[in-house]
């Protein structure tokens, strides 16, 4: 009887009325038999997540854990669906006291023809969200398997009594309730000791974080098919006190020790998982920026120099980041040796560049790609591309491409030797059904 009831629930359509469950988003657990889900309910009792293979007459269920409560948001719930089969389509619903039922579906660890596809963007706001309609349409059209946002959400989670954060998460819900949503912290999440970030993405800490040994959603890792993904936190250097008072406190030494252990393990597992992709909010040339109170002086923003050495030691293939509201694709390079303003890279690998810049063959170093202009109220930094070598002389001869338009990108890992990246531009106001334009692509080829 319970199974029949669960199947009936799974076939209900999504209610078009005010509901008690919203802000639904999936996340991966680093275990291919599990998928975690976070959501918000306006009542504090445990809800029930029912799930079944699409078309099956047998369903399973799990009760949610009721986490943090904030009157501006509601009760934040977490649940983990387990015992899942790989490469299988599932349906699931969330029921809280029978008040409402949300129905959706997801492919669990899908093995699609042509390889894993992961969408990446950073610095994404509710206002001027130029990429939102395109991203939602791409998810509906099944153009990617996972969405990663590398920090600076909503602008900001806490704005207007958290309504901006709530609306942003609901705007993304058509994507995130069917595609795993993996995250990193940015400087815009620091308010109230990163509390909203930590609790809105609690499952990342409790599941992926726990399974990767960090027990955190500031930094963690997970394998998905042929790629090892590593999230890092670049904000602790400026927001040290906020980090120490956050729900998941840590020091930079603790993060670096964890990162070395994680990368060492991943690098030794290349026969099974050949690609290592890292992501975070700031990149190699962003350690310092002009002080707003005295533009002739530099102020500390992060210390990516500390990450660069480990990335090089364990041969991280690509690093995706944001913070600067542009699209920038760098040549493979070894970051500065010294943590000081205006430092040049130690080396730039131009020799690996082929096919007019669209192929990096057997690169010596990690490729950095900045994807910081999906759209937000701070707009893009047009002048940076017009005169990047004047504004920042350390960038000379390091950039293959710089664009100030809006968009996001999709990476594809078809096999152990080829990695593909495409940058999809969306013109301002392009509408929900206008396809984005591919304005850049890159193949990283190794071992050939």
pLDDT at 12 over 70: no
Share of the chain above pLDDT 90, in %: 75
Q: What is the DSSP letter of 90?
A: E
At how many degrees (to 10) do helices 191-200 and 163-176 cross? 30
pLDDT at residue 158 in the model? 96
Confidence of residue 43 (pLDDT cuts 50, 70, 90): confident
pLDDT at 403 over 70: yes
**Residue 75 neighbours by CB under 8 Å, 6+ apart:** 40, 41, 42, 43, 44, 66, 67, 68, 69
Three-state DSSP class for 291?
A: strand
pLDDT at 18 over 60: no
Confidence of residue 387 (pLDDT cuts 50, 70, 90): low
pLDDT at residue 149 in the model? 98
- The pLDDT of 282-302, averaged and rounded, is 82
Q: What is the pLDDT of residues 320-354, one digit of tens each?
A: 999 999 999 999 999 999 998 889 999 999 999 99
Helix, strand, coil fractions of the chain, as percent rounded to 5: 25, 35, 45
**Residue 86 neighbours by CB under 8 Å, 6+ apart:** 32, 33, 108, 109, 111
What gap in Å lies between CA 157 and CA 125, rounded to an integer?
10
When the pLDDT of each residue in the chain is averaged and rounded to a whole number, the result is 90
pLDDT at residue 11 in the model? 42
| Torsion sign over Cα 444, 409, 285, 403 | positive
- The pLDDT of 206-228, averaged and rounded, is 97
Three-state DSSP class for 312?
A: helix
Angle at 340 between CA 242 and CA 342, to 5 degrees: 115
Phi-psi region of 257 (alpha: psi -120 to 50; beta: other; left: phi over 0): alpha
What gap in Å lies between CA 85 and CA 238, rounded to an integer?
43
Confidence of residue 428 (pLDDT cuts 50, 70, 90): low
* Contact between residue 73 and residue 166 where contact means Cβ atoms under 8 Å apart: yes
pTM (two decimals)? 0.92
- The pLDDT of 75-88, averaged and rounded, is 96
What gap in Å lies between CA 122 and CA 366, rounded to an integer?
19
Least confident of 35-39, 200-204, 267-271, 298-302: 298-302
Q: What is the pLDDT of residues 44-57, one digit of tens each?
A: 899 999 999 998 98
pLDDT at residue 290 in the model? 75
Count of CB atoms within 10 A of residue 318's CB? 24
Q: What is the pLDDT of residues 167-181, one digit of tens each?
A: 999 999 999 999 999
Least confident of 55-69, 224-238, 371-385, 393-407: 371-385
| Cα 122 → chain centroid | 8
Least confident of 34-38, 243-247, 304-308, 315-319: 304-308
Q: What is the pLDDT of residues 109-157, one digit of tens each?
A: 999 999 999 999 999 999 888 899 999 999 999 999 999 999 999 999 9
Task: Return the structure tokens found at 53.
Answer: 């293979």
Confidence of residue 16 (pLDDT cuts 50, 70, 90): very low
pLDDT at 414 over 60: yes
């Amino acid at each position: 009887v319970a199974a029949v009831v669960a199947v009936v629930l799974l076939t209900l359509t999504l209610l078009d009325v005010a509901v008690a469950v919203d802000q639904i988003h999936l996340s991966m657990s680093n275990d291919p038999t599990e998928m975690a889900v976070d959501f918000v309910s306006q009542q504090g009792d445990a809800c029930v997540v029912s799930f079944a293979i699409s078309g099956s007459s047998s369903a399973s269920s799990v009760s949610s854990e009721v986490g943090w409560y904030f009157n501006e948001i509601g009760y934040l719930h977490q649940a983990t669906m387990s015992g899942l089969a790989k490469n299988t389509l599932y349906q699931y619903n969330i029921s809280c006291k029978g008040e409402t039922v949300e129905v959706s579906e997801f492919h669990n660890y899908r093995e699609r023809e042509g390889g894993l596809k992961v969408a990446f963007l950073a610095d994404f706001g509710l206002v001027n969200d130029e990429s939102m309609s395109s991203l939602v349409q791409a998810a509906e059209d099944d153009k990617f398997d996972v969405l990663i946002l590398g920090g600076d959400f909503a602008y900001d989670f806490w704005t207007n009594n958290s309504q901006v954060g709530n609306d942003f998460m609901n705007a993304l819900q058509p994507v995130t309730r069917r595609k795993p949503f993996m995250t990193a912290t940015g400087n815009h999440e620091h308010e109230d000791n990163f509390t909203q970030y930590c609790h809105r993405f609690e499952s990342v800490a409790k599941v992926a974080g726990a399974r990767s040994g960090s027990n955190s959603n500031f930094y963690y890792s997970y394998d998905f098919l042929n790629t090892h993904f590593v999230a890092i936190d670049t904000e602790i250097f400026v927001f040290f006190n906020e980090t120490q008072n956050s729900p998941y406190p840590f020091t930079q030494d603790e993060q670096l020790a964890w990162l070395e252990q994680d990368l060492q393990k991943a690098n030794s597992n290349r026969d099974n998982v050949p690609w290592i992709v890292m992501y975070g909010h700031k990149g190699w040339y962003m350690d310092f920026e002009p002080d707003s109170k005295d533009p002739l002086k530099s102020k500390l923003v992060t210390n990516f120099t500390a990450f660069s050495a480990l990335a090089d030691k364990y041969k991280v293939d690509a690093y995706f980041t944001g913070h600067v509201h542009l699209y920038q694709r760098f040549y493979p390079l070894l970051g500065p040796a010294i943590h000081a303003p205006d430092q040049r890279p130690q080396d730039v690998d131009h020799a690996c560049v082929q096919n007019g810049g669209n192929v990096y063959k057997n690169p010596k170093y990690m490729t950095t790609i900045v994807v910081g202009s999906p759209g937000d109220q701070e707009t893009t930094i047009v002048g940076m591309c017009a005169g990047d070598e004047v504004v920042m002389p350390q960038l000379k001869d390091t950039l293959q491409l710089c664009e100030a338009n809006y968009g996001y990108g999709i990476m594809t890992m078809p096999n152990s030797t080829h990695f593909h990246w495409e940058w999809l531009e969306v013109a301002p106001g392009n509408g929900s059904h206008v396809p984005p334009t591919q304005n850049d692509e890159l193949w990283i080829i190794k071992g050939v």
